Each structure stands twice: as C-alpha cells, then as structure tokens.
A and B are shown apart, each in its own frame.
Chain A
C-alpha cells in the first residue's frame, strides 16, 4: 500500500509552517510582508485625524474641484514640513475633508499646532499701508507699527511663482520669486512707493512691513520676520503650496499619543497569544485528534490573516486586533460542527472514513450560511463606518474568507490524511466509544 497520505500530511504541515515563518519574517523578494512591517492605524502608532469644514455659510457654493484643490494644497503643505505618510480624503457630498496624519518621530506632540496650520487659507498679500491704521507695535521700542490690512493689494499669493528659505545677514528669510505679472506690478509699486512701507500679510496677520528703498524690477523679494530657520521653512512651504480657496476649520479632532497606542497594542498581542493557547488546549482536549488538527489549521488561519493584512497594506487598528482575536474564536466554529458530526456518525456505527466525509459534507452548508450573515454585517460596517471601524470590518471579512480555507480545506486535508495513519485507527481518538454500541 502506498504511504502517500504521510507525504500529503507533511506537505500541509509544511505549508502551515511556511505561513508561520512568513508572518514572523515576511519575504521581501516576493513582496510578502511580515507582522513587523504591518501598517498600524493612528490609534496604535499615534497621530492625528481631523475633519476640516469650509468656513462659509454657503456650503453649496463649494465645488468638488475646489475641495480637490484644497486637498492638494494641504498635501503640499504637509510635504513641505517633511510629512509624507498621510491620508487626505475629500468628501464632496458633505463638503469636508478628512485628514489623517500618523505620528512620526520628531513630530510636534501638540496636535493642536499641527491642525491649526492645516486649515489656514495662507492668503499672502503685499499691501500698501496706512500710517494711521495700526494696532500697537511689533517691538519693545515702539518703532515698528503693527499695521492692519488696508485692502490696497500690490501683489498677492497667486502671483508668487516660488518661495524658498534663504539667509540675509545671517538671519533666515523667505525668498520670493514672482511671476512676470507679479514682477511687473511689484516694479510699478516699488517705483511709486519709494521711502514708504509695504506690509506683507498672511491671512490678514502682519508678518513684516519693510520700507521700499529702490525700484525692484526682477520680481525678487524676501521676507524677514520674527521667525527662526524652521519657521522660515514652514512659511516658505505654506506660500509655495498656495492659498486655499476658503478657510478650513477642524470640527472633529482625534489625536492619540504614540505611547498610549503602543501600550494598547502590546496588551492586545499578549491577549491574542493567550487566547490562541486556550483554544488550542480546548480543542485538543475536547475533540482529541480532530481537535488537534483543527487547532493546527487555526494556526494557519491566524498566520495567513496576518500575512494577507500586512501584504495588502491594510491598516491594523485596535478594533482590527479585536477582530483577529474574534476570528480565532469563531474560526474554530466550523471545526466544532465538523468534529461533533464525526463523533455522531461514528457513534451511529459508520466507518471512520464515511464519518469524516459525512462530517465535512453536512458542516459545509451550515458553515457557509452562517458566514454569509457575518459577511453582510462586515460589509455594512465597512460602507457606513469611519476609519477605525473600517479596519475592523476588513479584518472580519478576510477572517471569514480565510477561515473557510482553514477549516474546510486545511483541516479536512489534515484530518483525512492523519486518519489513514496506523496509530489513528482508534475510535476513541475521535471522541467516540471504542466499540460501536448497539
């Protein structure tokens, strides 16, 4: 008699072992990612999520195009600050923008500051000043007036082609390069306004008000102000990325510190491991040989779920981890049904082979029905939920698909092949009495 079943059994164990390895280490040559490379949501790694609303009474006047250009501008602003990992989504139906910025090392720990910067319109204007129109002074010696905007605009943000950080007399400045149109206007104004001041405003806040010494025809200007090198770089990035078509106000803010998220992650992982061990023991003790096989198949379920999620770049959130742990508990459900059935059929006097086949056949329908309903709720959660809950829904969906493979394909192959081995002919290994009871 051929011993092919031993090879088959070993091959499946090998596959499961391979998934364990992949889950732990990944395989970069094939683009398969392990647990360590998994993307984590802001509820774990920390970060900020906020919903920005246009500051206007007439929401209907805002077009999808405007929203999209606002998204691009915010993206550029963040890029200018060295933030590249983010998620900005316009919601054109409700006229709002959802921004998610995961925490990166060195980022400001005060979420308020980051959000404040996002929604600024960054409407840059060069305006003529009115010596009578000012509000206090910018320095202690009362020489630099804090001018208020006069509305007599010389050059505006759209006429600035580029803004860079530079240095003048050892102080950080923002150098501006105007478009030809801007340069022309600026030349005209500087010729007209010699010895007068030109005030530079960003969103109606005075940055600086230098005196015009000479006519500037090349469209080159620089802004000095009370900022350091980082401040200058930020300002340059803000000007470069352009002005928003409207001011955006954060009406929903959710920020999480990396430390707190990390502790929740550690706890969840520990809990997951303990839960797995408990299920392993329970299945093996209660259902004996087929239970052990189901527990091994469960190992496949968990590791393949992790590999799929990591490789597909699905963001792991805390509810997502709860979803994985829940999938573990519910994942053995099919095997519970199958193993109960095998025991039942054996007790009814069927042969081992027929019992196992019967068990899998019957269990299949109830298993698929039960999971369609879970799938329905997962899809509803995904469609209607927001960020964090979407993660839970995705995990649940992958969990259902993979638990189908693990309990119907994997555990079947394991049980069928192991049952052909010599040692496993004893009916007691399947939870039935030694002899058929008449």
Chain B
C-alpha cells in the first residue's frame, strides 16, 4: 500500500516544481497567441517543389506591403501520393495587423508571377481582425471559468456527506493544477493558443474532475465503514483501492491520444499535433493531481476540522 498522505510534501513539491517550470517558460517565451485570439492573417499555398527560399519571399512581400510578414517552409503528407509530400509556403502576418482583401490578391499575384507558383495552386487562408481575436479570447476564458463554476456546484451538492464544499474546492485546486501544467506545456513548446487549446483544457477539466470524483466516491463508500474516525487510513485506503483503476483508465486514454499524436507527428499535421500533445500532458497531470493533490489536501482539511472540533469540545 502506498502512503499518499504521509508523503504528501514530496508530491506537493513535485507539483510546484513542474508548475513553476511551466510558468518560467511562460515568462521567458511568452504565449504564442494564434491569430484566432490575436488577429492576423495566415496564408498557406502549395509550392511546385521545395527549392524556394522563404527569406526572399518574405523580404519581397515586406517591401510590398510594409507589414511584418513571416514566411516559412512546411511539408505535409500527400494523400494522393504515399511516397511524396506536399510542399507548402506559409505566410504569417500578426501583431495586430491583417492583410486586406486587396493585399491578399496582390500577394497571390506576386507569388504567381515572381515565385513560380502555379495559376491554380491550392491555398488556404485564415484571417481574423484583431478586435474579433480579443473577443474570442475573452469568450474562451469565460467558457473555462463557467465550466469550473458549474463543476464546483455539482461536486458540492453530490458529495455533501464527505464535506462537499471542501471536496469541490480541492477538486478545483487539482483542476487549476492541471490547467497550469498545460499552460506551461503551451509556453514551453510554443504551441499556438487557439480554439483547440480551449477544447483541450475543457477536456482535461472534465477528465480530471471525473478522476477525482471516483476517489471521493470511494471515500464516501468507505466512510460509513470501519475507517470511521481514522481519516488518514480512510484516505490512503480509498486511494489505494482506486489506484489500478486510475492508472488503467489514464493508460487507455493516453494510449489513444498518443497514437494520434505519433501519427500526426510523423505526417506533420500541425493541427492534430498541437491538440494532442497538451492532452497527453494534461491526462498525466490529471491523474497525478487527483492522487497526490486533491485527496491529500482534502485529508489535511478534514484533519484540521476534526482537530478543531475536538478542541472546542475539550
């Protein structure tokens, strides 16, 4: 049997170190707001081969539009030709600027006439005005906060028997733990923060609280039995009984997401890669925070409460 409660300090320190590292990365790297949340324009266009020089294109277009344009080379999997891949040029305008319709058309023209891009080359465009980006960002943050509040209320009501409000608060502490870890991952790997980020965070919130609740459920079941009075034994026993479940469920879920990540990484599908990597870390963090953060904190709280009650009686 693992003694989660006595060793809690070590586990808390591990959590704090990981979160601090992530926040440090956030301070150093900053966040890579995707144009969805910041405004900007991204244009990807299929190039005839990979001999083009992004720097040339970049300086040409910068001179033309007088806007900070970044050009990059990218390659992706070609579904029509297993052996070959598609060469892409990605143009990015951000920092509160977008390319207007007319400028985009001009950019197409320049690429065609000067950089050998074929007349009907496939292209994709994403363009968001800065004010919409800010609106979307606020909406995303609001979505996360609303979810957290609703979950708190639910856990509070459902687990009144084992001090629901404390249980809810510590489940939320565990959630915030996971969200912070994930934010660190976004900063560390410079993953653009966009709608997928919101989906990933909310998925982990749902998952992590689920994970915590299952142990609360076990505590609730055990609390009526022989462990009454011995809070440490109750918490430890409940954690250990649920341990293989916690690990196995995480394992099957992480397995699934990792497979998607590996496939996306091999074939360089950025959108899927950027969605699944934070999910993997979030799943690990979610399991960890349940076992090593939420329940030990709940236990500390209950002990303190029991101690106070005993003192006031004496």
- Residues of A whose CB lies within 8 Å of any CB of B are 43, 51, 109-112, 115-116, 249-260, 262-264, 266-268, 270-272, 274-275, 278-279, 282-283, 286, 318-319, 322, 325-326, 328-330, 332-333, 336-337, 340, 344, 362, 365-366, 369-374, 376-378, 380-381, 384-386, 388-389, 392, 396
Contacts and interface: CB of A to CB of B under 8 A. Distances in A.
Nearest to B214: A366
B221 interface: yes
Interface stretch (B19-27, B184-192, B240-248): B240-248
Interface string B95-123: 00000010011001000000000001111
B150 A380 contact: yes
A392 B199 contact: yes
A325 B252 CA distance: 11
B71 interface: no
A366 to B, nearest CB: 4
A251 B128 contact: yes
Given A259-B86, A264-B271, A326-B253, 10 more contacts: A255-B123, A322-B260, A322-B275, A326-B256, A333-B252, A337-B245, A340-B248, A381-B198, A381-B202, A389-B198
Interface in B161-203: 195-196, 198-199, 202-203
A372 B217 CA distance: 14
B124 interface: yes
Contact of A260 (B76, B158, B251): B76
B87 interface: no
B46 to A, nearest CB: 7
Given A330-B249, A377-B202, A385-B198, A275 B255 contact: yes
Contacts of A386: 136, 195
Contacts of A111: 123-125
Interface majority SS (helix, strand, loop, mixed), chain A: helix
B257 A325 contact: yes
Interchain residue pairs A-B with the least CB separation, the first 10: A329-B253, A370-B210, A329-B256, A374-B206, A257-B122, A384-B143, A377-B206, A251-B129, A275-B256, A366-B217
Nearest to A375: B206
B305 interface: no
A319 B256 contact: no
B275 A253 contact: no
Nearest to A113: B105
A254 B126 contact: yes
Contacts of A255: 123-126
B256 A266 contact: no
A371 B210 contact: yes
A317 B291 CA distance: 34
Interface string B129-144: 1001000100110110
B222 to A, nearest CB: 12
Nearest to B211: A370
Given A260-B124, A369-B217, A386-B195, A267 B267 contact: yes
18 contacts: A249-B101, A250-B127, A254-B127, A255-B125, A258-B122, A262-B79, A275-B255, A283-B252, A286-B248, A319-B196, A325-B260, A330-B253, A366-B213, A369-B213, A374-B207, A377-B202, A380-B147, A389-B195
A340 B205 contact: no
A257 B89 CA distance: 14
A115 B46 CA distance: 20
B230 interface: no
A17 to B, nearest CB: 23
Contacts of B279: 326
A321 B198 CA distance: 16
B132 A252 contact: yes
Contacts of A396: 203
